Amino acid sequence: MVKIGDAPEGFEGDGFFLTNLGKVIGMARANSLWPLPFATSCCGIEFMATMGTNYDLARFGSERLSFSPRQADLLMVMGTISKKMGPVLKQVYDQMAEPKWVLSVGACACSGGIFDTYSVLQGIDKVIPVDVYVPGCPPRPEQIIEGLMKIQDLARNESLRRRNTDDYKKMLESYQIETL
């Protein structure tokens, strides 16, 4: 059975439905997130399972993966990120257009995991802002899906003005990310 996305809050009557533009845009964004899978190691294999028929990310409107940052709005970082790779990850994030979200999948991406070594970045939030963290080594596909659903909640409820606020700009500046 095909499940249709829930309608946003509003008023309905015979032959009409009334809501506001922000809620409609939030609904559209939440149900059509285009992920860019930045997968460097084992957690990436769990992501492959998440895309398979058993778990089927298409149910959430996110089956369209993008390997071009300019055509993605959800950066999914899965795997160990070395310090050398930090600037590359940041460049990928930079090239994504607003609005964009970041899902950090697995212990390595969230905190360096078991690799407390000189060469491994101890969490991707050292170089880019993260919206949702998924714990586990590796996390199961159900956990990755839960993370995606949390991103959907953020996208659905985000104010259309949030990205223009001073707080948001300050947050990006703290990562030395240029704001347009």
Q: What string of DSSP letters covers the chain?
A: -PPPPPPPS-EEETTEEE--HHHHHHHHHHT---EEEEE-SHHHHHHHHHHSTTT-GGGGT-----SSGGG-SEEEEES--BGGGHHHHHHHHHHSPSS-EEEEEHHHHHH-TT--STTB-S-GGGTS--SEEE-SSSPPHHHHHHHHHHHHHHHHH--TTGGGSHHHHHHHHHTT----
Cis bond leading into 139, ω under 30°? no
Q: Which residue number, 47 or 60, has a Cβ lying nearer to ligand SF4? A: 47
Q: Which residues bind ligand SF4 (CB under 6 A)?
A: 41-43, 79-80, 106-108, 113, 137-138
User: Rounded to the nearest whole angstrom, what is the least distance from the CB of residue 17 to ligand SF4 in the complex?
Assistant: 44
Q: Which residue number, 120 or 155, has a Cβ lying nearer to ligand SF4? A: 120
CA atoms of 147 and 102, how far apart (whole Å): 10
Block residue for tokens 């259309």: 160
Q: Which residue number, 30 or 124, has a Cβ lying nearer to ligand SF4? A: 124
Q: Which residue number, 88 or 137, has a Cβ lying nearer to ligand SF4? A: 137
User: Rounded to the nearest whole angstrom, what is the least distance from the CB of residue 169 to ligand SF4 in the complex?
Assistant: 32
User: Rounded to the nearest whole angstrom, what is the least distance from the CB of residue 151 to ligand SF4 in the complex?
Assistant: 19
User: Rounded to the nearest whole angstrom, what is the least distance from the CB of residue 180 to ligand SF4 in the complex?
Assistant: 33
User: Rounded to the nearest whole angstrom, what is the least distance from the CB of residue 143 to ligand SF4 in the complex?
Assistant: 11
Q: Which residue number, 78 or 155, has a Cβ lying nearer to ligand SF4? A: 78
